[in-house]
Structure 1
Amino acid sequence: MTVFTDKSQSPFYEKLLGKVDEQLLHLQDARGIFLLDKVHEKNMNYYIRNVAKKPWNNHLLLSILIYADKNSDVRTIDYFIQLMNPRLNDLFNIFYFNKMTDFDVETHMYQYLKGTIFVEHSDSMRAELLNRYRNNSYLTKKWLTAKLTQEQQSYFEQYLFPMPSYDARDFSFTKSAMTQRHNTRKSETDAIVPMLPQIRAEGHFRWNQLHRLRQAFLKACEEAQTTKCALPLEFHYDEPERVGERFYFRLWDKPSFVLHHQDQFSASSLKAASNRTGAYSEEKNNYFVEFLKAERLEDDEEAEGLWFMELFEKDVVGSWNLNASDDELQQKRELLYSWGYGEEDSTKNSVPFLSMHKGIITPSTFVSRNQDIAEGILFDVEPIYAGITFGLLALDIFTTTGARLNELLQMNYSKECIKSVKIDNKLHHSFYAIPKGRDEVESFYISDQTMKLIAKLIKLLKYHYGATKIPSVGYRDDRKHLFPNPKPYLFQYNNRSFKKNTVYSCLRFLLHGLHFETQEGKAITVKTHLLRHAFATEAVQRQKLPIDIVAKILHQRDVGVTGYYSEPTPSQVAQSVSDLHDVISDYVDVDEAVLRSPEELQQELEEYKEKVGVFNNVLGGTCVTDFVCPTKMQCLGCQAKVPQPEKKHELEEVIELSKDMEKRFSKMNLPVEVKKAKAMRKHARNELKEIDLIEKYREEQNYEPHIRFDK
């Protein structure tokens, strides 16, 4: 065996000594990095707690090390070990085994898969175990052969899970479980995809609405400070014509709220509030609002108010399950399930609006604790405004790039991450992130609209930090070993970068109340991975992009996985491109570079521009793909195009042209060409609908409510 002079720097090294084969702890990659140092703490913490003392500890540890060396996603590794460990535990218990040599995959796992033992386990559980087990056996054996010497292979083969002679075709459950999973995924995607343009537009409308509320809130705070008026300060303002409602609020701070509800607080609290000391001192004080009512301006219909009011009214924001009675728990579980959160008849408490990040969505302790005292509904403005700003950018990225959540969290405000290239006097933008299963950055092309949302987020972060720069913070989510150095990550707040759950909560809060049902009537919610499925489905099924190109756009190595993602459902949406702004401080002016370059380079660029859309304006919008044109320049309806309201007239001309073409081809008895003309008109009309939504929320962005104070 190889003699090792150094040891792993992992904090888990010492904990594993004496519990596992020490040779596993010394495995290194080609660069001399210990594989144990590559394993995420989440995976190792589970292993230490649940696997280290089991008979299969060496087998699972070898698998974990190999997956880490292959840059597998932390969740993928976590899912594998949390699937394998319980099933092995079941088998060893029922057969009374105490060492791995007793276990025979051909006999004992076969009995489990046939359903002769643990009959209560579902087909899906058995199918998933077989699938993951076989994949692991194949990948680990392949890794050993490719990475280790003959001597090392001979030694470590004892810790491989042996490949069984049977496969999924030998069991009836496989097709049943796979069909069930596929049907569930397709049902949810079918419910979401046709509504994507409306989902995106509603996200913008809601951000605009919260922006107006925040402006009113800040003006009320300024009014209270400059005039020294007694609180509460009542104010109201009118929403734009599309909403047609007037909103009424009260502005409070902590001392004023206590002193106006004296019968609800202790004598010591009243004294501290009156003197503004302790918890009610100036440095610990903050403003918050009470939503009183909404009323219609032009008719007698019932006012809707702010979309998120019911969440605070029903007390399901944050850790709602703490200190709740059994009846309250059951009622709220049923309520959340009716909205698509959690499982029916579940005893688990779903917390869809618990961001687990200070200052994001969740109200302050004072506001949360005193909600029942108020006449209206209390909430903090800034945490909600921050949450939906993050949520809107996430929604835009997911639906225009198909990016994964981990790739989104890598976005940072640096020239290495966000880049712009100037071609034909226009800037084209991209961000760079390390996709799943890779260790080098790749590009994700984004539109000017996305850049505008990034600018809004940067403005929010600078306001939050009271600084001209965004601070560099450590990366805290999966695969953080790839990002050891602090960076000015976009998804951060209160000097901490986001984890996945925070993004989930922001997206849910932004889109709450948009009701989606499967054909079976089950309520569902928008999920990050569901949006990725929708992106792939629309690209392949309606836009007819080749699967291999979609795989590149999604940064997927396995085209088969892309095929699974892109099974048939309806439309995908692209978003508008807005005016150029100054988010990025540096760009490369390719136009100037070409003018000074050799003649061959100029010719090469021109040829490249003919093949690659990312450098071109196209009919009705701008192309945002850098791959060979997937539609052979048939840009109408293409997934890779972002519609621009400024090019609305081009689409209107196409509609008129298609009508003329249809008449001409009908006279010429060319039915195929007639169909093409009709399809052209259909695509143009769909894009015009998207542009109409874009124009509406752009118009509302410029609406400034007139705020009236009632003193």
Structure 2
Amino acid sequence: MNIQEESNSEYYWHQKLKGKIHEDILNFTNPSDWGFVHKDIIDYFERNCIGYVWTNNLAIIMLARTAYAHNDFQTVKRSISILNNRFQSLYKELNIQSIEDWDPDVHLYAYLNKKVLVEHSENQRFELLKKYNSSITTVRNWLTSRMDFSLQERFKQFLLKRCNIVHSISNQKKVLHLSQSHRKNETDAIIPHYPVIRGEAHFRWNRLHRLYTKFNELIEKITPTTALPLEFNYDEEQTGVRIFFRIWDRPSFTIAHRNRYSRYSIESAKHRQKAYSNDNNEFFLELVKVETQDGSRDTEGFWFEDLIRESVLNQSPSSGSEEQKERKKKFLMSWGIWRSR
């Protein structure tokens, strides 16, 4: 371990990405620049962007967009996501084996002109070109403003190739017009159902608000001597159901489910150290069951239970085995909310 690497090793980004991106990106960039990169971005990158021939290129883009351009969390995540997802599709479709084989003037041109991946929308194609070009500009500006010439030369290997395709204003207007027309058609289809949707939204908000209020009332009463999990229930008069919950914190949940955690995690939980310290602790809910108020039978609970049960929240649809991902895709398609990436 060299001196620079040793001085960086204590940082979150270094711990998460060491051995997963090129060591020069970790050790010859300014730690203060990495300090601008939100932990959630680093976690997202580690989960989704590691192990590809373009991983180092995206790492530089992530760093430049955050530290130099000061893009917000969602902008950085969306930029990385679009590039990563489209690269996966294009490299597979065009059988591109390395980043050196990538030629945007050939491959991106074919994509923009619907020669490949014909199922992708105009907006998906335009978004890739826009994020690709803006990312290249941001990275080059960052390098020239923050690094001397020798380091710029060292980092050239991580730069995406320039794209010389000129996407005309008329094409951009076409994409915008198609997008607006599509949104209008979708809106027109919803308007007749708006009163019902609005009523259902109020109903669901009120249910969650009651749960949120009850949850916070109980948390306020929890002390260091309170045994967790803490069980409670309440009645939903409007629906005639009784809902049962448990409140956990991180240590109590880990200890109770010790077969799913390492010995190190269990010991840390017992002593409330490191990830299980009071500073890192938080409370969360487990929905145990829902039954009729007379207790005669189980019944339906919250409308979002299937989303949790099918693991389709957040980034979960793209995780798991091919069989699991296909099952999640079918579930989302059954609700009309699947969109190819």
Task: Give the letter aligned to residue 69 of structure 1.
Answer: A
The answer as to 2:11 corresponding to 1:10 is: yes
The answer as to 2:226 corresponding to 1:372 is: no
The Cα offsets for residues 653-687 of structure 1, whole Å up to 9 and x where unpaired, read as xxxxxxxxxxxxxxxxxxxxxxxxxxxxxxxxxxx
Residue 178 of structure 1: how far off its partner (Å): 2.0
Higher share in helix: 2
Cα distance 1:12–1:145, how it changes in 2: closer, same or farther (>3 A)?
closer
What is the 5 A alignment of 1:481-492? none
Residue 128 of structure 1: how far off its partner (Å): 1.0
Aligned mates of 2:132, 2:80 — CA distance in 1: 10
What is the 5 A alignment of 1:109-128? 109-128=108-127
Cα distance 1:361–1:103, how it changes in 2: closer, same or farther (>3 A)?
same
Aligned mates of 1:495, 1:367 — CA distance in 2: 19
Q: 2:239 aligns to what SS in structure 1? A: helix
Aligned residue pairs: how many?
A: 222
**Contact (CA 8 Å) 2:22, 2:56: kept in 1 or not?**
yes
Aligned partner of 1:130 in structure 2 is 129
Residue 183 of structure 1: how far off its partner (Å): 6.7
Q: What percent of counterpart residues are identical?
A: 23
Aligned partner of 1:67 in structure 2 is 65
Aligned partner of 1:48 in structure 2 is 46
Task: Give the letter aligned to residue 16 of structure 1.
Answer: L
Aligned mates of 2:76, 2:90 — CA distance in 1: 21
Cα distance 1:24–1:367, how it changes in 2: closer, same or farther (>3 A)?
same
TM-score (norm 1): 0.28
Residue 366 of structure 1: how far off its partner (Å): 3.6
Q: 2:35 aligns to what SS in structure 1? A: helix
Aligned mates of 1:85, 1:354 — CA distance in 2: 35
Aligned partner of 1:679 in structure 2 is none
Cα distance 1:368–1:57, how it changes in 2: closer, same or farther (>3 A)?
farther
**Contact (CA 8 Å) 1:8, 1:36: kept in 2 or not?**
no
Aligned mates of 1:125, 1:54 — CA distance in 2: 21
The structure whose RCO (Cα within 8 Å, separation 6+) is larger is: 1
Aligned mates of 2:106, 2:32 — CA distance in 1: 36
The Cα offsets for residues 559-578 of structure 1, whole Å up to 9 and x where unpaired, read as xxxxxxxxxxxxxxxxxxxx
Aligned mates of 1:309, 1:115 — CA distance in 2: 39
Cα distance 1:166–1:361, how it changes in 2: closer, same or farther (>3 A)?
farther
Aligned mates of 1:98, 1:368 — CA distance in 2: 59
Aligned partner of 2:89 in structure 1 is 90
Cα distance 1:3–1:151, how it changes in 2: closer, same or farther (>3 A)?
farther
Aligned mates of 1:162, 1:48 — CA distance in 2: 23
Task: Give the letter aligned to residue 22 of structure 2.
Answer: D
Task: Give the letter aligned to residue 61 of structure 1.
Answer: A
Aligned partner of 2:175 in structure 1 is 177
Aligned partner of 1:158 in structure 2 is 157
Aligned mates of 2:183, 2:116 — CA distance in 1: 29
Residue 354 of structure 1: how far off its partner (Å): 5.8
* Runs (5+) with no aligned partner, structure 2: 187-196, 219-231, 243-278, 285-341
Task: Give the letter aligned to residue 14 of structure 2.
Answer: Y
**Contact (CA 8 Å) 1:63, 1:136: kept in 2 or not?**
yes
Cα distance 1:183–1:17, how it changes in 2: closer, same or farther (>3 A)?
same
Aligned mates of 1:121, 1:363 — CA distance in 2: 48
TM-score (norm 2): 0.55
**Contact (CA 8 Å) 1:10, 1:36: kept in 2 or not?**
no
Residue 28 of structure 1: how far off its partner (Å): 3.9
Aligned partner of 1:141 in structure 2 is 140
Q: 1:43 aligns to what SS in structure 2? A: helix
Aligned mates of 2:87, 2:149 — CA distance in 1: 29
Aligned mates of 1:12, 1:73 — CA distance in 2: 18
User: Highest CA radius of gyration, 1 or 2?
Assistant: 1
**Contact (CA 8 Å) 2:58, 2:80: kept in 1 or not?**
yes
Aligned partner of 1:509 in structure 2 is none
Aligned mates of 2:148, 2:32 — CA distance in 1: 16
| CA RMSD of superposed structures (Å) | 4.2
* Runs (5+) with no aligned partner, structure 1: 189-307, 319-352, 379-485, 487-493, 497-711
